[in-house]
Amino acid sequence: MSQRRFEGSGLRAYAIFYLLFLYAPIILLPLFAFNSGTIIAFPLQGFTTDWFSQMWGNATLRRALANSLTIAVSASILATCLAIFAARASTRFDFPGKGGIMGFILLPMVLPEIIVAMSLLVVLLGAGVELSILTVILGHALICMPYGIAILSTAFSSLDRSLEEAAYDLGETKWGAFRLVTLPLVMPGIISSLLISFTISLDEFIIAFFLAGKEPTLPTYIFSQLRFPKQIPMIMALGTVLVALSIVLLAIGEYFRRRGIARIGGKDTGGFL
Amino acid sequence: MARRGLDPEARQGLTLIAPPFLYALAILAAPLLTILAYSFLTDGYLEILRQVTLSNYAQVLTDPIVRTVMLRSLFVSGMVTLVTVALAFPVAYYVSFMVRPERKSMWLFLITIPFWTSYLIRVFLWKVILGYNGVINSSLTGLGIIDEPLTFILYNVNSIVLTLAHAYAPFAILPIFVALEKIDRSLLEAGRDLGESRLMTFWRVTLPLAMPGVIAAVLIVFIPTIGDYVTPELIGGGKIPMIANLIQVQMLALDNRPLGSALAVTAMLIVAIVSLLFLFLNRRFLKVRQ
């Protein structure tokens, strides 16, 4: 047994070291956001919250934030609605071409985003569609949908079919049974899918960069400022806020995902993917 | 097998799948087919001429710059995949075999958080860490270990590999973890009972059974990294382009959409071939699972 414990502690040290490596850049973020020095380097100067107030007073940034929120809310709702259809179809029904269709819908998960963005851009420009936040929403909904399907499939597949049948037997219509029985049971999955899609969309750069036209979103605004050294401390402050926000959103999403699994009496099998 | 007629269940399933399927057709398949069509057309001065040609592909295959960039992209994503999967395996193994069941989700949550937080800023922070006046250089000069800042750590292929390996780490851990979780623990005990050493049990039982997860991890890291745009732009300083940067330049800056499309199609083909080759080579392991 001692050998096993020894191995365990070695692996444990490695795993903790690995986590530190994963978190290294994120730990630096607040350090520089509250640092009064204008150059991003050690040693740190003094404590300041100037960068946060500078961020707050920036009009372009506010516009970018408003755009990003509009896009993220719309895209996550659209993606989750479509994902509900797909998850329900794939877990409950058998139909010809199922594997191919599902594989195709899940394709954006592995397809490089540059390909999605470029091909969509070529078509939109060719069709004379003006680029706006609407075109970004279309692209974001496409790449968020597979994640929503992954989450919702778990929710739908662990559903007990006899519950619905009981509702039919008690005289409910199909839609009534879905609304009154199925929907409440998969609700945690839906919320979790909304939150994950929202986080993905808020953070997505490539599609927004090429499809937004002249409208800024948070990531494209950040990208445009990275080449001005003077703006970097403010970007660090913005990054701190964004990271804190996504951690809160993810924690809520994780909470609902686990509650959903507990509600249908399943066993937790792990993370989002 | 006789072709089944469309029974009510199949019809219902198809009706349900229609909205997401049509959406993916419109937003994904139609654009992909369009660039496939563009790649065979001729680029005119201001417009695209409707003349079918293979010259775009000829140019893609013979141009030395394209070849350099393509090989670099393959090398970078190959290295990233190797590094990510090799570093991730022990972590996945630790979480699956050593961590108490009730704490596993916590570990997975901690591993996935960095993945969901602003990609752009994470990439930029590596520039801050590796830069001329960066964290590493300013710490080392401050401690008196070096006199001059090290210049070889930023703006090169290695720094691109490091940054991407960091960005895709959780992607590699999760599939391996899922495969390890599925392994029947009694098989390992059986291996031990039959007199195998711990190492041999790992080599002959655990590793082959974990292989489908490893393969999934390889594909899920390799495919997106080859098309990464941001990291070569920020960490490579724009001077070490990868295939995504080249596509963007052709499509927008040079406005040569047919050539850009041919590049995109070629890149997708190469990715598909490499992935299929990999899956083919690992058929043996994948069969174990089924």
For B154-194, how does the pLDDT look when each residue is reduced to its tens digit (9 = 90+)?
Answer: 778 888 888 888 888 888 888 888 888 888 888 877 877 88
Query: Residue A114: pLDDT above 70?
Result: yes
Q: Which residues pair with B169 in a beta bridge?
A: none
For chain B, which residues make up each domain, given as ranges? 63-289
A contacts of B84 (beta carbons < 8 Å): none
Query: Residue B274: pLDDT above 50?
Result: yes
Q: Widest CA span of chain B, in angstroms?
A: 79
Determine the average pLDDT of the residues in A204-217.
89
pLDDT at B33: 92
Query: Residue B208: pLDDT above 70?
Result: yes
Q: Do A25 and B125 touch (CB under 8 A)?
A: yes
For A59-263, CATH gives 1.10.3720.10
Residue A69 to residues A74, A79, A85, A194, A223: CA-CA distances in angstroms?
8, 15, 25, 13, 18
Q: Residue-wise over B105-114: b if at least 16 C-beta within 10 A, else e?
A: bebbbebbbb
Beta carbon pairs, A and B, within 8 Å: 262
A contacts of B220 (beta carbons < 8 Å): 110
Please indicate if any CB of chain A lies within 8 Å of the CB of B40: no
- How far is residue B169's CA from residue A17's CA, in Å, rounded to a whole number? 13
Give the model's confidence band at B288: pLDDT under 50 very low, under 70 low, under 90 confident, else very high: low
* Closest chain A residue to the Cα of B242, Cα to Cα: A114
For chain A, which residues make up each domain, given as ranges? 59-263
Tell me the HSE value of B115 on the side-chain side, using a 13 A CA sphere: 19
Query: Residue B136: pLDDT above 60?
Result: yes
Determine the average pLDDT of the residues in B255-275.
87
Q: Do A14 and B109 touch (CB under 8 A)?
A: no
CB proximity list for B191: less than 8 A, separation 6 or greater? B200, B201, B204, B205
Residue ranges with strand state E in chain B = 42-43, 48-49
pTM of the model: 0.82
pLDDT at B289: 46
Token digits for B206? 């655990």
pLDDT (tens digit per residue) in B79-98: 999 999 999 999 998 988 88
Q: Which of A15, A98, A271 is facing B109, going by the closest CB pair?
A: A271
Please indicate if any CB of chain B lies within 8 Å of the CB of A177: no
How large a percentage of chain A has pLDDT more than 90?
A: 17
Give the model's confidence band at B114: pLDDT under 50 very low, under 70 low, under 90 confident, else very high: confident
A contacts of B93 (beta carbons < 8 Å): 11
Q: Which residues pair with B48 in a beta bridge?
A: B43
Give the model's confidence band at B2: pLDDT under 50 very low, under 70 low, under 90 confident, else very high: very low
Angle between helices A59-92 and B8-24 (to 10 degrees): 160
Position B200, amino acid: M
Better-predicted residue by pLDDT, B42 or B71: B71
Tell me the nearest-neighbour CA distance from A247 into chain B, angstroms. 7
Show which of residues 190-249 on chain B sit within 8 Å of chain A, judged by CB atoms.
Answer: 198, 219-220, 223-224, 226-230, 234, 244, 247-248
pLDDT (tens digit per residue) in A36-81: 777 766 667 778 777 888 888 888 888 999 999 999 999 999 999 9
pLDDT at B82: 93
pLDDT at A165: 82
Token pair 């903790």 is at which residue?
A16
ipTM of the complex: 0.81
For B63-289, CATH gives 1.10.3720.10
pLDDT at B5: 60
- How far is residue A83's CA from residue A87's CA, in Å, rounded to a whole number? 6
A contacts of B221 (beta carbons < 8 Å): none
